[in-house]
Amino acid sequence: MALTSPLQIYDTLARGVIPFRPPAGKKVTMYTCGPTVYAPAHIGNLRTFVVSDWWRRTLEWSGYQVESAMNVTDVDDKTIKGSREAGLPLAGFTNQYEKTFFADLESLNVERSDIVPHATEYIKNMIEMIKVLLAKDFAYQADDGIYFRIAKVKGYGALAQLKNQPSDDKETPSDFALWKFWDEADGEVSWEAPFGDSLANKAGKGRPGWHIECSAMIRAVLGDTIDLHLGGTDLIFPHHTNEIAQSEAVTGQPLARHWLHIAFVNMAGGKMAKSEGNTITLADIINHGFSPLAYRYWLLSAHYRTLMNFSWDALESSAIALKKLQNRIADLTTVQHSVLDKVGTPIIEYLNKFTEAINNDLNLPVALSIVWELLDDHNFAPENTLVTILEFDKILGLDLISATQPLAIPSEVAQLLADRESARGAGDFARADSLRQQITTAGYTVDDTSDGPKLRKI
């Protein structure tokens, strides 16, 4: 799709909206910090991955060839603790949550990243990076592991705009673990590594710290410098700050050209967090009778850098709006098939407006309002409106194409509808109403239009 204006993104490091200009032209690498698989993801976590999906779709829409990666953190303090409490081996414990996580993404219509590295598969790469950091004196050995020496990094904490940068070369309490020597709490979880103190009987056994995992996986799967690094706002410090410190100390190159962060979802009155005991999962949303795409639609209602307050009422409004949108698409399809049956041409005026909105740091609330504006604009042939909206949906990802498929009506419902038509024809409105009620119970509504009765799925 031709660009009407250059793509602009809010870069956390630059603290402003700046043009997105990858040096390799049309090739882009992007990395999203993925889930720690120790519990079902809550819908606030899932927002990060839906927004990441919107960015990937936007880059592709803009003509870029995207190589995307999202890791799975399958070893860290939380996964080890969880697996021991559950009495399961680490892999068996994390696998179940990983499966749920990817099933959630699929039902939210989030496309899988091209590369999904697992931390436990890149331990060698982590060890290699730690060896370089030790050799360059960016790391040192302490009693319980290998630590990163943040005092040695000029400008440490720039991403988070930390004020209290270490001012001397003493090891500070903020130094973080690159490698943790095995202790009893780790149980069966450990890898061989050429670190440690043989006198303390800790040689050769340990596990990585969380931050080094991402640094090593990014380098292994996408290279020393990537174009776009994404994650939730909670990762700016310490996680991303420490990724930068480690990676750049090893390679001497910037880790990422652009840093992009996604805001939280709050519950009314406070943060949504497992520790607060107020999390909502996608399974909860489905159990309340909502489709996962209603949640995706709800996420479209705010800019990705805006904190959102979740409520069931707000989700219900989104579910109703999505249904209305699907019905409008189905209506356009009916008109197109029955009257015109023509292949449409995208409407340039609206494509340009939509592109302006997404190129402005992915302003999806405006982009969504343009969809509704077009639906209410009757200056265009329905097949053109339809094809334009389906083009928009390449970014929105609401699976609107499904609304263009003919409704598969069960034969008993078709019979009820035929009987109702007969009853109406015979003036037996009591019976017609009763049949309408039966159709509703079967999960369909009837609209009486000038073209005859029309069924919709409830």
Per CB under 5 A, residues contacting Zn ion are 33, 214
Show the beta-strand stretches assigned E in 233-295.
256-262, 265-267, 270-271
104, 301, 311 from 295: Cα distances, Å: 11, 10, 11
**Is the distance from CB of 63 to CB of 57 less than 8 angstroms?**
no
Residue type, 377: D
Nearest approach, Cβ of residue 231 and Zn ion (Å)? 6
CA-CA distance, 346 to 383, in Å (whole number)? 9
Q: Which CB, 66 or 214, lies closer to Zn ion?
A: 214
Nearest approach, Cβ of residue 214 and Zn ion (Å)? 3
Q: How far is CA 377 from the centre of its chain?
A: 32
10 Å Cβ neighbour count for 429?
A: 11
Q: Which of 219, 243, 246 is nearest to 231 (CA)?
A: 243
Q: Which CB, 112 or 324, lies closer to Zn ion?
A: 112
Q: Which CB, 262 or 280, lies closer to Zn ion?
A: 262
**Is the distance from CB of 152 to CB of 169 less than 8 angstroms?**
yes
Q: Which CB, 33 or 146, lies closer to Zn ion?
A: 33
Nearest approach, Cβ of residue 103 and Zn ion (Å)? 22
Nearest approach, Cβ of residue 239 and Zn ion (Å)? 5
- The strand order across the sheet containing 256-262 reads 65-70, 27-32, 226-232, 256-262
**Polymer length in residues for the chain:** 458
Q: Which CB, 214 or 255, lies closer to Zn ion?
A: 214
Q: Which CB, 33 or 293, lies closer to Zn ion?
A: 33
Nearest approach, Cβ of residue 3 and Zn ion (Å)? 30
Q: Is 53 exposed, middle or buried (0-12, 13-18, 19+ CB in 10 A)?
A: buried
Nearest approach, Cβ of residue 10 and Zn ion (Å)? 19
**Is the distance from CB of 282 to CB of 108 less than 8 angstroms?**
yes
Q: Which CB, 34 or 346, lies closer to Zn ion?
A: 34
Nearest approach, Cβ of residue 202 and Zn ion (Å)? 27
Nearest approach, Cβ of residue 67 and Zn ion (Å)? 17
DSSP 239: I
Token pair for residue 147?
């630590």
10 Å Cβ neighbour count for 353?
A: 17
Q: Which CB, 53 or 383, lies closer to Zn ion?
A: 53
Q: Which CB, 33 or 389, lies closer to Zn ion?
A: 33
Nearest approach, Cβ of residue 332 and Zn ion (Å)? 43
CB proximity list for 248: less than 8 A, separation 6 or greater: 153, 254, 255
CA-CA distance, 61 to 65, in Å (whole number)? 10
